[in-house]
Amino acid sequence: MAEQDLRKELNDLRAEYRADSQKSLDKCFSYLNFYVGLLAAVLAATLTGLLQIRPGDSRALLLLTGPLSASALAVLGYRTIRVFYRRSVEAWVAEVNLQAMLGLGDVTGSHAVGRPLVASRSGGWLPRFERSPVEKVMNSAENAESMIVEVTRIGDTLRYARLTLAVFSVVAVVLSAAAIVIATR
């Protein structure tokens, strides 16, 4: 296979991985939005029910189903989001590797192409920004798999999803306590 054909195939593959990474990240956000909406509705319905129950009414205990289901949905939602986030990171790592193999991150103005208006840190035209913990992992990973595990662990998207769903879990616990207090007064 000629060098030019190989470069074209690698570049096409890089474009596919970029699309796969974006598709998985979009799916991650879609699920996050779905679970946030669902959890907000469940907890709002529970709160509405609590505001309508009189102290000492044992029916308040039925409202515990809202917070219990919200907690379960938050855990399942996080696990679902984690799957798509990991897939996004896997495709991103493959894209980064292909980009490096093609020399796209280190393209300088020394070719026949004009110089970039604002050069990247590497001196090339392609800007690459990662938070310092992610950059550190990229520069020190033993292999692609360990990089995927580590970036998945420290990445912003998954961390924010975890925090968002944890807040819903805390609200669910507070509403559960309120239902118990109202039912036992």
**What's the rounded mean pLDDT across residues 141-163?**
88
More confident call, 159 vs 20:
20
Q: Where are the alpha helices (DSSP H) in 53-184?
A: 65-102, 132-140, 144-154, 156-184
Q: How many CB atoms lie within 10 A of CB 183?
A: 19
**What's the rounded mean pLDDT across residues 158-179?**
90
Confidence (pLDDT) at 107 = 43
Angstrom distance (rounded) from CA 20 to CA 26: 10
> For 21-54, how does the pLDDT look when each residue is reduced to its tens digit (9 = 90+)?
999 999 999 999 999 999 999 999 999 999 999 9
Query: What one-character DSSP code corresponds to residue 115?
Result: P
| Residue 110 in this model has a pLDDT that exceeds 60 | no
Angstrom distance (rounded) from CA 137 to CA 146: 9
Is the pTM higher than 0.95? The answer reads no
Q: How many CB atoms lie within 10 A of CB 2?
A: 7
Confidence (pLDDT) at 109 = 39
Confidence (pLDDT) at 169 = 92
Confidence (pLDDT) at 134 = 84
Confidence (pLDDT) at 115 = 61
Tell me the pLDDT band of 111, cut-offs 50, 70 and 90. Answer: very low
More confident call, 109 vs 53:
53
Largest CA distance in the chain: 82
Confidence (pLDDT) at 116 = 56
Mean pLDDT of the chain: 85
Of the ranges 96-110, 138-152, 163-177, which one carries the lowest mean pLDDT score? Answer: 96-110
> For 89-98, how does the pLDDT look when each residue is reduced to its tens digit (9 = 90+)?
898 888 888 8
Confidence (pLDDT) at 100 = 79
Where in the chain are the domains? 3-106+119-184
Judge whether 85 and 24 are in contact, CB under 8 Å. Answer: yes
Judge whether 141 and 93 are in contact, CB under 8 Å. Answer: no
